[in-house]
Amino acid sequence: MTTKTTVLIEANKANVAKAISTIVEFATQKNYQIKGELKAPTNLLGLTKDLQFDSKKKEKVLKRYLTHLDKRLSFKQINLFLHFLYKKIYKLDSSPYIDLPEKELKIQEARKAWKAAALKAEELHSLYKVEKGDYYKKKVQ
């Protein structure tokens, strides 16, 4: 039995910038919406801050996220990475995320409304059946 060893990508500013650029490319290719700004926070002089880790564990987690994103991009992985990066590393109040295209969101809302209307119609139909019962059958005889 052989063991796999994965080489983790180093957690530094260049690799994070590369990951963010691949995320932007992925989002534009799939027509996803990017909510929020994918920019690194800056200090008072306007220079981007370097990554500062409170603990070794946070650095390891960021390495793992960068490695996963390098292998395969997915909707969930991207949002988890962005949330971790902006909330835990950059310590900002809000984090950017990618969302479905506007058209797809409208389609989902229309389907939910249609399903609710169909359920209501089914309830009204069953009330009609109960009210009608065999009224017309008795009348004909």
Same domain, 57 and 113: no
Residue 109 maps to a domain: yes
Indicate whether 79 and 38 sit together in one domain. Answer: yes
Q: Is the pLDDT of residue 141 over 60?
A: no
pTM greater than 0.85: no
Together in a domain, 67 and 92: yes
Q: For the residues 32-61, what does the mean pLDDT come to?
A: 83
Residue 1 lies in a domain: no
Structural domain includes residue 5: no
Name the pLDDT band for 136 (thresholds 50, 70, 90): confident
Whether 52 maps to a domain, the answer reads: yes
pLDDT over 90, % of the chain = 70
Please report which confidence band the pLDDT of residue 69 belongs to, taking 50, 70 and 90 as the band edges.
very high
Same domain, 49 and 73: yes
User: Can you give the pLDDT at residue 139?
Assistant: 64
DSSP string computed for the chain: -PPP-PPPPP-SHHHHHHHHHHHHHHHHHHT-EEES-----B-TTSPBPPP--SSHHHHHHHHHHHHHHHH---HHHHHHHHHHIIIIIS--S---EEE--HHHHHHHHHHHHHHHHHHHHHHHHHHHHHHHTTHHHHHH-
Question: Mean of the per-residue pLDDT values for the chain?
Answer: 90
pLDDT band at residue 46 under the 50/70/90 scheme: low
Domain extent for 44: 13-99
Looking at the fold, whether 93 and 118 belong to one and the same domain comes out as no
Number of domains in the chain: 2
Q: What is the pLDDT of residue 38?
A: 87
